[in-house]
Amino acid sequence: PKQAQGQRPQFHITPGFGWSNDPNGMLQYKGIHHVFFQHTINDTVFGRQHWGHVASTDLVYWTRLPTALYPDQSYDTNGVFSGSASIYQGVPYQLYTGVSRFYELGFYYQVQAVAVPANLSDPMLVDWVKPASNPVVAGVPVGATNLQFRDPNTAWYQDGAWRIAVGTQLNCSGTALLYSTQDFQNWTYTGVLASQTGLKPDGVCADGGEGPTGSCNQFGSGCRMWECVDVIQVGPVMVIKWSDEVHGRDPFSRDWYVLSSTNASVLGNMTASAEGSFRPGVNGSLNYSPRAVDYGTVYASKFWRDASQRQLWIGWTFETSAGCSPAQCSTGTGFTDAQGYQGAQTLARLVTYDPEIEELVFYPTEESQLLRNLQQSNRLDELLVSGADPEGMSILGKHVSSTQHMYDVDIAFKLLGGAEGLQPFSVGLILLMGADTDEGVRIHLNGTAATFSGQTKVTSLSILVDRRDAPAPSNTSYGGGFDGGPVSLPEEGVSSNELQLRALIDNSLLEVFAQGGRGRVTSRVYSLAVDEQWDVRAFGSFGSGSIEITGAIWGMDSCWKDSIELESHR
Ligand code: DQQ
């Protein structure tokens, strides 16, 4: 049965009409931020892909622009698939995947092509042309296949050449292939960057299978591939990120990454090998266990840098529910088209490297605060909760109201006192979706804290976005870790008695961040109680101790603007 999608997000990027998926080709040009996205323009389910286009002066208020790339060439007539922007000699190049044939069993023939602006003086980059040199990367090495060969990343310059990675299936394994060029027209294959055979994703496969022979594989053929590979530098570490499509992009498909201290120059001298030449692990240790970029309903994310060289990130949040089969999740056919759209993008996040936990941290950009409606806010000033308050207190109050359910909640919890020794704690937010209802989402930060000589410190911490009481059809437990359970945060990252939780609630889209972005869970939750007031509560319990709760809730503005005021920006 088809399912309702609840209310459409209003401060996240969605298509005006149609199906949308991966973010593509992000860049800042002449001061304007551009986001493109995979878009089926005439249907709300996955079809012939185009590039939708929105632009912004601040990464949060967006203006819709005309479709940027159409499937109008022989090599992309079945779809303009995902790709990335590179700026070469001042010219933005969009490298993307062209899909030119549709095979039985759903296989496509894929090549890499390029598009450049028709008018370089237009900061809106409205018109794009595809040079006659296309397709610019047509061949794959022996063992790989053009049926699975896609999603070029942003090129990086190294050892005298520009280099890109393209995802494929090589000898049946998810793999990143390296290509190099001097001019963005002629590309040469230079070797394997990394492959699934060298990297073991823990917990992806329900049956424990992985790699060439596992049964947790794409298309049931015993093989899998890497989509949307990114290669970036964040502070001292190199990052390889890929999207591992498992069982047709079901809720357990994930975006993964590994970090490496590998001297970047090694990448210029790759030789093809089963495991590739990228050595994961930081500070001398080898670490082949990839980490999930985000938990929940996020896939096919992409990194980019803005003009001030900030490392940024956006991901696709797909519609999902308990009743969504893999094929339905993958193509959207399980959902009603009553809302006229499917798929949204996360807010832009700033990505930094945190040396204390040797990990990446992702957190909404500072600009996200521009969306806060200061007339619709409510502040919690040092409320002290003694013992347990499992029902929580309402912090929404009468000052924050909206017919749309759009909120930014940022709360700090301080664990105080209590008996000497170890005690469990649970703090968090309850989002009740409607008046007089128990339906909603409970966001927990759970863990233990040790009190010695009057000093309290958190010793273990996990985040759980519990949707079991969410309105049907969102009342699945996932929205958290792989099994729907909690996601552990690194202990070293706490080392104090203070906890932080931020929840961005945008109708049916919920982005949750803990500890400044060390923990992240994104969910889609569909409530039909759209005309009723929702209730946001903070709660806490800490054994015999108490909890100081401070923070605020803001109503949020819509992100959509009819036009961009160029003058005010220059
Ligand atoms: N989506 C695109 C592909 C990519 C996949 C097609 C990931 O380019 O591999 O819309 O979601």
pLDDT tens track for 264-276? 544 544 443 444 5
Which of 25, 169, 13 shows the shortest CA–CA distance to 96?
25
Tokens read off for 488: 């552990």
Is 375 exposed, middle or buried, given 0-12, 13-18 or 19+ CB atoms closer than 10 A?
exposed
Identify which of 112-116, 172-176, 317-321, 542-546 has the greatest average pLDDT.
Answer: 112-116
Break the chain into its structural domains and give their ranges: 18-364, 372-556
Average pLDDT, whole number, for the chain?
83
Matching residue, tokens 């009468």? 398
Matching residue, tokens 């088209």? 337
SS3 371: helix
Residues paired with residue 14 on neighbouring β-strands, in sequence order: none
User: How far is Cα 16 from Cα 67, in angstroms, rounded to an integer?
Assistant: 11
User: What CATH number belongs to 18-364?
Assistant: 2.115.10.20
Written as one letter, the residue type at 417 is G
Interface predicted TM-score (ipTM)? 0.99
User: How far is Cα 412 from Cα 403, in angstroms, rounded to an integer?
Assistant: 27
User: How far is Cα 232 from Cα 334, in angstroms, rounded to an integer?
Assistant: 35
The answer to whether the CB of 362 falls within 8 A of the CB of 323 is no
Lining ligand 1 with CB less than 6 A are: 21-22, 38, 49, 81-82, 97, 150-151, 227-228, 243, 299-300
- Best mutation site among 19, 20, 22 for ligand 1, i.e. most ligand atoms within 8 A of its Cβ? 22
User: What CATH number belongs to 372-556?
Assistant: 2.60.120.560
Tokens read off for 354: 């945190």
pTM of the model: 0.91
User: How far is Cα 476 from Cα 210, in angstroms, rounded to an integer?
Assistant: 25
Q: Identical fold at 18-364 and 372-556?
A: no
The tens digit of pLDDT for each residue in 404-454 reads 799 999 999 999 987 899 999 999 999 999 888 899 999 999 999 999 998
| Cβ-based neighbour number of residue 374 at 10 Å | 8
What pLDDT is recorded for position 23? 98
Q: Hey, CA dihedral for 20, 22, 25, 31, is it positive or negative?
A: positive
- Radius of gyration over every alpha carbon of the chain, rounded to an integer in angstroms: 23
CA dihedral 253, 481, 470, 324 (to 10 degrees): 20
The tens digit of pLDDT for each residue in 22-58 reads 999 999 999 999 999 999 999 998 999 999 999 999 9
Q: Is the peptide bond before 473 cis (omega within 30 degrees of 0)?
A: yes
- Best mutation site among 94, 227, 298 for ligand 1, i.e. most ligand atoms within 8 A of its Cβ? 227
Is 76 known to be catalytic? no
